[in-house]
Structure 1
């Protein structure tokens, strides 16, 4: 009996989530969450909301009942009210995230069964031969496809912004011990650079670090030339910027620490090892630290945020999140020594510390 109940629950949950996904996409199209947010404590009636959204009243009421049942919105005395959740989803980055999940990710997940079946359940998923390519009829790798299909790149950037929202950064108090591990023992006579943010994008991590610590050394952000140029042109930054391809030797020698946030998870093991090997000659033994801010999959008690991201990586890029054993293997093959993993409650990513042997 328990097994039967669990099976029924599985079917019901899938049905509810499929409808909810479609309703959230509808909500984006008609700005439903924005209308509920703007109505505030007064709420809004069916006729008025139908007019604002351009939706037939009967259709609107059926959709709204499901959103009420899913605790997305509330209904009281004939009027609809938004919730903290629906108000949050009215923000631009969450609106674009819903578009990305529905238009890009969902089709890739939907082809999982047939894609795996065709491969005899032994699929060789690569950058150019995975569920995303099968779902969207392309031979392009994920990021190239995003660039070629606007506005999906902008939606993906918004999705990553929403994914990070409200989470502790790697350098937040209680996560990685910055004062003890980086600032104490920093020696500017070795190199004035305290931290190199390798492949750091638009500087989210570097800005967070700069805001939280009175750091005694320089901070340097590295990324592709186009990214560095775009942020240098916009504003004065409290750190240095330089173009660098992490598949080439690291130009900054003997910095105190080199941070790679969600870099290696974008690549297979061979490429990940190559990235670390290009970093290795720049490290000073007994001084420099390599900090990998990455998901470490638990085999006994995996977090849904971690496994969901693993499925995203399989669907879109043909790569994977890694377990502790797998991370240790990559670090060892690159000729580095694994030191320790630092975790933070409720955060999927960890900080993996490594150094020269």
Structure 2
């Protein structure tokens, strides 16, 4: 017997053949991205019935292939609003103990919502495979609802996306209209959505718990194997640093640079970040390399105080900033740079159309939209990275821009030729 995925593939294949046979009888060319199907066909059962069956099978197959993470994170705004509601009222964790099924009355009693409200919310998520209802009135957990019951970070991400990112992204057009070509972090969709003149993170800081929720939610995306320190560790010649110094600019707790220091004992590491971040991070220094790791308070918009280091690492820093501010950050390094010093960026490299799978491109474009809405930040293509360094100073020489296979982030190596 064919697997469920195999059955879905067969359904899609059969239904598409039926659609194309029907179109042929009507003298219409095959399905094409460039040409729409005539509207008068949409109500014809010879077209509408196989089309609906194929689309439904495609969505279920997409969910099977993408898993629970995909089911939760790839929803329309209205679908996501209902997912936020079931999380807010803890419906995924309102099942009886050790049970995979529950009636609507049981979910209502455990969540504190009225049964009609629970039923309405749960049934709105069935098409996203958050729950299933194989037997009328009996709700069954899926992998997605199990994740929402057991993974607090995913719940944080749902709430943060619904309250911070979605309202801001829906105001991008208004922000462009109000502040044409602005690169200011307080002239964004977020500012309009929240009626504030403060930057997004300064505004969040006024509300207890809000910055922490944002940070926890975003950490969900950096936990996958594509964000492992090994990609940076294995794809740069750190062994070429002879008694060298690595400055981790905006390095937070130094997770990545400390990993490098532990493998290469000849390297001295200086982790720089804002004072409160540094104060919290000092206690996490591993004892086996504490003599080679220093934490330093530093604002990367001001002149770099560590002169003559071999490598200045910036991991996931510049994407938060528009070109205007990213250039300021790069120029602040210049007084400290010795000839042939390296600047190593660990950032997204957005592919040009056709260079990679459409789904990967789509994800990075979504991230680009989000950082634009929040801070006027930017996820950059190769051409953008090159232009950024050229604008910052002609003495910056881009040596390589590569994304290791398996890594989510690329590695950009730039040499100072001054």
Whether 2:238 is the aligned partner of 1:182: answer yes
Alpha-carbon separation, structure 2, partners of 1:104 and 1:243: 29
Q: Could you tell me which of 142, 145, 148 is aligned with 2:206? A: 148
Task: Tell whether the 8 Å contact from 2:233 to 2:259 is kept in structure 1 after alignment.
Answer: no
**1:261 positional shift:** 1.3
Matched positions, count: 341
Alpha-carbon separation, structure 2, partners of 1:253 and 1:206: 18
In structure 1, the gaps of 5 or more residues are none
**1:176 positional shift:** 4.0
1:219 is matched with which residue?
269
1:79-108 deviations in whole A, cap 9, x for unaligned?
433333333334222222222111122222
Whether 2:161 is the aligned partner of 1:108: answer no
1:340 is matched with which residue?
400
Alpha-carbon separation, structure 2, partners of 1:208 and 1:33: 38
Alpha-carbon separation, structure 2, partners of 1:5 and 1:209: 56
The 1:5/1:58 distance shift into structure 2, 3 A limit, reads farther
**1:290 positional shift:** 1.4
Determine which structure has more spread, i.e. the larger CA radius of gyration: 2
1:188-210 deviations in whole A, cap 9, x for unaligned?
1xx4x3x3221012334335546
Q: Map 1:189-268; keep pairs closer than 5 Å.
A: 191=244, 193=245, 195-209=246-260, 213=263, 215-232=265-282, 234-237=283-286, 238=289, 239-268=293-322
Alpha-carbon separation, structure 1, partners of 2:85 and 2:155: 11
Whether 2:149 is the aligned partner of 1:95: answer no
**1:332 positional shift:** 2.5
Task: Tell whether the 8 Å contact from 2:235 to 2:404 is kept in structure 1 after alignment.
Answer: no
1:17 is matched with which residue?
76
Alpha-carbon separation, structure 2, partners of 1:4 and 1:351: 41
Alpha-carbon separation, structure 1, partners of 2:134 and 2:362: 33
**1:311 positional shift:** 0.7
**SS at structure 2 position matched to 1:168:** helix
Alpha-carbon separation, structure 2, partners of 1:332 and 1:46: 61
1:273 is matched with which residue?
327
Task: Tell whether the 8 Å contact from 1:41 to 1:81 is kept in structure 2 after alignment.
Answer: no
Structure possessing the higher relative contact order (Cα contacts under 8 Å, 6 or more residues apart): 1
| TM superposition score normalised by structure 2 | 0.72
Task: Tell whether the 8 Å contact from 1:257 to 1:290 is kept in structure 2 after alignment.
Answer: yes
The 1:246/1:124 distance shift into structure 2, 3 A limit, reads closer
Alpha-carbon separation, structure 1, partners of 2:203 and 2:258: 29
Task: Tell whether the 8 Å contact from 1:96 to 1:159 is kept in structure 2 after alignment.
Answer: yes
The 1:258/1:33 distance shift into structure 2, 3 A limit, reads farther
| TM superposition score normalised by structure 1 | 0.83
Q: Could you tell me which of 56, 59, 67 is aligned with 2:125? A: 67
Task: Tell whether the 8 Å contact from 1:170 to 1:293 is kept in structure 2 after alignment.
Answer: no
Task: Tell whether the 8 Å contact from 2:343 to 2:414 is kept in structure 1 after alignment.
Answer: yes
Task: Tell whether the 8 Å contact from 2:233 to 2:260 is kept in structure 1 after alignment.
Answer: no
Whether 2:347 is the aligned partner of 1:291: answer no
